[in-house]
Structure formats: C-alpha cells, structure tokens
Amino acid sequence: MILKPITSEKAVKMVEIDNTLLFETERRYKKTEIKTEIEKVFSVKVQKIRTHINGNKKYSYVRLNKKNPAIDIATKLGMI
C-alpha cells in the first residue's frame, strides 16, 4: 500500500488543531486496511478515518488517539 502524505497548508493546520494526518492512498484500499497499515508503520493508535474520493485519487483523513500526537509523525515525514 502506498501512503503519500499531503503537505498543504490545510493539512498542516489539521495536524496542529485536530491531531489529524492527511494521506493520499490508492482507491482500492478500504478504511480498515488503511488503519492497520498506519498503525503498523508508525506504531500509533488510530481513532478515526474519513475518506474522500476526488477523481481517481482517494484522500484519507486519519485522526490519531490523543496519546499519540500527530505533530511527531508529521515531523518525521518532513511535513513540518
């Protein structure tokens, strides 16, 4: 599965305010598959996932558990 982080101004604001990361994923993956992949790769707990399909792209809004700050992961990915 390919997880591509989105580094727009809106995405950075969501990291700081909502503890949410934004990824571009392939359309064929379901929310449960995205959740397990993120929990496995980043060693965090996911609270909720929302998806948005625009054209041929699928965007996944991943809200992390309060114990896992999203800003730490964003720093590791080079978003901030």
pTM of the prediction? Answer: 0.92
For residue 14, the domain's CATH number is 3.30.70.330
- The predicted pLDDT at position 80 comes to 81
Question: pLDDT tens digits for 9-36?
Answer: 999 999 999 999 999 999 999 999 999 9
* Selected residue with higher pLDDT from 48 and 1: 48
Confidence label for 2 from pLDDT (cuts 50, 70 and 90): confident
pLDDT interval class at 3 (50, 70, 90): confident
pLDDT of 1 reads 74
Nearest to 66 by CA among 48, 47, 53: 47
Mean pLDDT of 23-50: 95
Structural domain boundaries, residue 54: 4-77
Give the chain's domain count: 1
Q: For residue 76, which amino acid is it?
A: K
